[in-house]
Amino acid sequence: MISKETIDRVFETARVEEVIGEFVQLKKAGSNFKGLSPFTDEKSPSFMVSPVKQIWKDFSTGKGGNAISFLMEHEHYSYPEAIKYLARKYNIEIEETEQSDEQKQQLNERESMFVVSKFASEYFHDLMLNTQQGKAIGLSYFKERGFRDDIIEKFDLGYCKDEWNNFTNAALDKGYDLKYLASTGLTIVKENKQFDRFKGRVLFPIHSMSGRVLGFGGRILTADKKAAKYLNSPESDIYHKSKILYGIYQAKKEIAKQDNCFLVEGYTDVISFHQSGIENVVASSGTALTSDQIRLVNRLTKNITVLFDGDAAGLRASIRGIDLILEQGMNVKVVSFPEGEDPDSFAKSHSDTELKTYLEDSAQDFINFKVSLLMKEAKNDPVKKAGLIRDIVTSISKIPDGIQREVYVQECSRIMEISERVLFSELAQLLNKESKPKRGQSNVDPNQPPAEYFMDQETAMTAVKGGAISTQKVDQLNILEKEIIRILLLFGNEEVSFTNVIETEDEHGKVIEEIEEYISPVFKELYLNLQDDEVEFTNSIFQKVYYELINQISQNEKIDINSLTNHPNEEISNEVTSILMDEEKYTLSEWERKNIFVTETASILPKLVTDAILNLRRILIERKITEIMKESLKDNSIKVDLELISNYTGLKKRLFEKLNRVV
């Protein structure tokens, strides 16, 4: 178990914007940061990070929390693993107490697979560096490829002995469960036999964006034609080949810094580029590029430069990935190497400066690249040339931004010597075809909220297709309870001036109103009024948060937001985070830039507190009147207490007068 002192130091030291910034490209938005959601596929930012409050909120999925909860949500860490990750990041020494057998057994399935994979990576790396066979075969292979010691260390490269079960036996001797050796694919189990999947291969560990070992790529060193040259870990709960990019962990900081990502095909391409000083590079590991892989890069930069081998057949096969990149709203450039060269060989045969210069000078946009590649085939054939133009316009149609599409149409018109009018006509047809809903699908935008109109205090009216109207109940009590929690969280410690109207009667029975002003903390004003009314929150989560707040107030006479956002009860921390970040939502739409200005809540705080109390009383009174009426209708023997209802109605009327409303 990690000691409480270590956990406290991690919470005190970790900066949520720094932690999330390693996984998501964040841009300044007022006092906050915003970026694309790492949990959904979106074009407009809905992800907010507050450095002041040290919390984050993803408005597209509703998820939110602190640095720890982000790592648990994004990287699927357990709570201890998230703490350890941050401790390593901020050079905090981890103090641990001995785990019991029961606590060890509580590690979940995924966590056990991660633990086994980490052991395997360390074992293969150590075996290569510190055994005679490892040095003679594994290390010598990487040395022959020209890789330096620091690069071998950086990528945790390793070697598995050419023996049937060397690794498996070593893992079992260390106490690792065969179940997890099999589920990660490290060991192949057949009947009563088990043997190493990667025997006799040099190994390239594949890391997640946070550095966890997900799987391995293994290259054979013999000339066995029956065996695959490269062998990857099989799909598992922790390794999905189509959702990870090799080198993303080592490249993420430089990708964000350079605001560009080089995309290559193989492991050695990535490693050779790093050795040449170019670190913003990742590989699709020999698979066809997928949308999930592109989204990984999209979190860090909007710019991708695809590097193609000089092989013509490879170019044709890989060019399809360009449309996928364009669909994600990203900017794509292309660099192709001379025939017979690939990024690895080119990096080795040229100096670092020559490589960087070549990448800068050879980069071209996708239109020029497609034209230069396909025009050789089209030559003077009008039919083939028309096909090429349609191919380019199809790529342009994938771009979500209208302005970019128009610029590319103009560029295509210039290069291909064809009128813009014809190209725009073709583009319009393609866009129209894509926008039509498929059979059985609705044309309604799922991200567009329904139109709602409020008829009275508790009924919402929703417009639906065809002009029909449906009604639905709005739980105003729930809204008011949330508002009270929001005020307590944001302004509970503020001391403001309140006014109280004291009513007395003179000797003639005339009501005289006296206005009393007093200074009070917001939490005290709300607490005393709620206590007077004997209010119990109907929403269980709000009730839990309220009890935590009252507990803090009774002990310290102050509300500590950090202890709530970092609360061990996930339900409480999530709700508090969500409420705190709700007020930041408008910055996503840049309202100020559009001359829409939001009233500062602090300036109307006394009225806000008073209105919240009065509105809550109003709703409770309305419900009491409704209960009395229902009870009498249910049982005809019960007479309606008209005097009681009249008193409640009179009280309700006075509340409306205080709220400046008309009954």
Decide whether 4-102 matches 108-239 in CATH topology: no
More confident residue, 471 or 282: 282
CB 486 within 8 A of CB 582: yes
Select from 273, 235, 232 the least CA-distant residue to 254: 273
CA distance 144 to 146: 5
Q: Which CATH number is 108-239 given? A: 3.90.980.10
Split at pLDDT 50, 70, 90, the class of 77 is confident
CB 36 within 8 A of CB 298: yes
Kindly list the domain boundaries of the chain, sorted by start residue.
4-102, 108-239, 248-435, 476-658
Residues paired with residue 187 on neighbouring β-strands, in sequence order: 196
- pLDDT tens figures, 111-129: 899 999 999 999 999 999 9
- pLDDT tens figures, 47-72: 999 888 888 988 888 888 899 889 98
The model scores a pTM over 0.75: no
Assigned token pair, 223: 């000339």
Pick left, alpha or beta for residue 356 (phi over 0 → left; psi -120 to 50 → alpha; otherwise beta): alpha
Q: Mean pLDDT, the chain, as a whole number?
A: 81
Per DSSP, the three-state class of 110 is helix
Please give the average per-residue pLDDT across 575-603, as a whole number: 65
Task: Please state the φ and ψ torsions of residue 189, each to the nearest 5 degrees.
Answer: -110, 120
Task: Please state the φ and ψ torsions of residue 198, each to the nearest 5 degrees.
Answer: -105, 25
CB 253 within 8 A of CB 205: no
- pLDDT tens figures, 79-105: 888 898 999 889 998 887 665 565 555
Please give the average per-residue pLDDT across 337-349, as a whole number: 91
In this model, does residue 36 exceed pLDDT 50?
yes
Residues paired with residue 67 on neighbouring β-strands, in sequence order: none
Residues ≥6 apart with Cβ < 8 Å to 656: 618, 662, 663
- pLDDT tens figures, 503-519: 666 677 676 767 778 88
Instruction: Give the type of residue at 378.
Output: A
Residues ≥6 apart with Cβ < 8 Å to 288: 320, 321
> Percent of the chain scored above 90 by pLDDT?
32
Split at pLDDT 50, 70, 90, the class of 470 is very low
CATH class of 248-435: alpha beta
Check residue 447 and give its pLDDT: 37
In this model, does residue 650 exceed pLDDT 70?
no
- pLDDT tens figures, 250-268: 999 899 889 999 999 899 9
Burial of 339 (0-12, 13-18, 19+ CB in 10 A): exposed
Cα–Cα distance list, 353 to 151, 250, 276 (Å): 19, 21, 9
Split at pLDDT 50, 70, 90, the class of 40 is confident
Q: Which CATH number is 4-102 given? A: 3.90.580.10
| Cα Rg of the chain (Å, integer) | 32
Check residue 454 and give its pLDDT: 30
Split at pLDDT 50, 70, 90, the class of 453 is very low
Check residue 245 and give its pLDDT: 95
More confident residue, 406 or 520: 406
CB 584 within 8 A of CB 576: no
In this model, does residue 639 exceed pLDDT 60?
no
CB 591 within 8 A of CB 598: yes
- pLDDT tens figures, 529-562: 777 666 778 888 888 888 888 888 877 778 888 8
Long-range contacts of 280-285 (CB under 8 A, 24+ apart): 280/251, 280/254, 280/255, 281/247, 281/251, 282/245, 282/246, 282/247, 282/248, 282/251, 282/255, 283/245, 283/246, 283/247, 284/245, 284/246, 284/321, 285/206, 285/217, 285/232, 285/241, 285/244, 285/245, 285/246
Please give the average per-residue pLDDT across 323-331, as a whole number: 88
Assigned token pair, 226: 């029956």
Please give the average per-residue pLDDT across 475-502, as a whole number: 83
Long-range contacts of 222-230 (CB under 8 A, 24+ apart): 230/286
Task: Please state the φ and ψ torsions of residue 94, each to the nearest 5 degrees.
Answer: -90, 120
Split at pLDDT 50, 70, 90, the class of 456 is very low
- pLDDT tens figures, 281-317: 999 876 788 888 998 898 888 899 999 886 655 566 5
CA distance 129 to 142: 11
Check residue 321 and give its pLDDT: 83
Split at pLDDT 50, 70, 90, the class of 224 is confident
In this model, does residue 596 exceed pLDDT 60?
no
Cα–Cα distance list, 594 to 87, 423, 435, 591 (Å): 42, 34, 29, 5
Split at pLDDT 50, 70, 90, the class of 152 is very high
Cα–Cα distance list, 366 to 76, 261, 273, 390, 644 (Å): 36, 15, 23, 14, 78
In this model, does residue 273 exceed pLDDT 90?
yes
Burial of 254 (0-12, 13-18, 19+ CB in 10 A): middle
